[in-house]
């Protein structure tokens, strides 16, 4: 089968990682996949902040997320101890910023799947990234001026596997 179609069919979210690191070469391929994503009018106004899973800012984000949700001890942190997390931000004033970031993150997810790496798209830190600590996190993560968090993605080697999700094509597709 066509490799792209095969990768789309096989991709699923990974919520459990081994300690094995993502190599510099793999990370470069993943970031290139994000950079190669199409953007509206080719403005390319999205930014990628790369953090190792051990970075203290990730713990800080986890604590802020939990504080806002009134959770004390979730079973996993938001990135499931993955060795790499990439935060994608975009110009907050640009109407296509969210869509551009979403397209880039899926490019990266498919690239990871094609490399045999697990990945998880992460939206659950949105409230933490846009709440009262927004300026602090934006500065600490070195987001470009006027950029804001849109989405994140974790990468690593799969410690668990999950079947791709099912769907109801009949309900979701209308053929006219």
Ligand X SMILES: Cc1cc2nc3c(=O)[nH]c(=O)nc-3n(C[C@H](O)[C@H](O)[C@H](O)COP(=O)(O)O)c2cc1C
Residue numbers of the site for ligand X (CB under 6 A)? 12-13, 15, 120-124, 151, 162, 164-165
For ligand X, the closer CB: 5 or 23: 5
For ligand X, the closer CB: 28 or 71: 71
User: Closest distance between ligand X and the C-beta of residue 10, in Å?
Assistant: 10
User: Closest distance between ligand X and the C-beta of residue 37, in Å?
Assistant: 15
Nearest of 149, 127, 150, 130 to residue 67 by alpha carbon:
127
User: Closest distance between ligand X and the C-beta of residue 164, in Å?
Assistant: 5
Q: Helix 24-35 vs helix 97-114: angle between axes, to the nearest 10 degrees?
A: 140
CA distance 118 to 20: 12
Lookup: tokens for 127: 């409230």
Helix or strand run (H / E) with residue 147: strand 147-156
Counting Cα atoms < 13 Å in the Cβ hemisphere of 103 gives 16
For ligand X, the closer CB: 80 or 94: 80
User: Closest distance between ligand X and the C-beta of residue 24, in Å?
Assistant: 26
Lookup: tokens for 126: 């949105």
For ligand X, the closer CB: 7 or 12: 12
């Amino acid at each position: 089968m066509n490799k792209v179609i095969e990768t789309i069919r096989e991709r699923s979210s990974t919520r459990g990682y081994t300690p094995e690191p993502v190599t510099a070469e793999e990370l470069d391929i993943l970031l290139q996949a994000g950079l190669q994503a199409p953007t509206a009018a080719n403005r390319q106004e999205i930014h990628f902040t790369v953090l190792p899973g051990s970075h203290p800012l990730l713990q800080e984000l986890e604590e802020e997320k939990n504080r806002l949700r009134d959770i004390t001890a979730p079973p996993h942190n938001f990135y499931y101890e993955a060795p790499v997390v990439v935060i994608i931000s975009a110009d907050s004033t640009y109407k296509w910023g969210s869509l551009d970031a979403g397209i880039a993150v899926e490019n990266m997810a498919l690239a990871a799947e094609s490399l045999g790496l697990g990945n998880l798209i992460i939206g659950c830190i949105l409230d933490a990234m846009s709440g009262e600590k927004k300026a602090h996190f934006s500065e600490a993560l070195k987001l470009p001026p006027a950029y804001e968090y849109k989405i994140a993605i974790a990468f690593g080697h799969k410690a668990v596997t999950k079947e791709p999700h099912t769907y109801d094509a009949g309900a979701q597709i209308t053929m006219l």
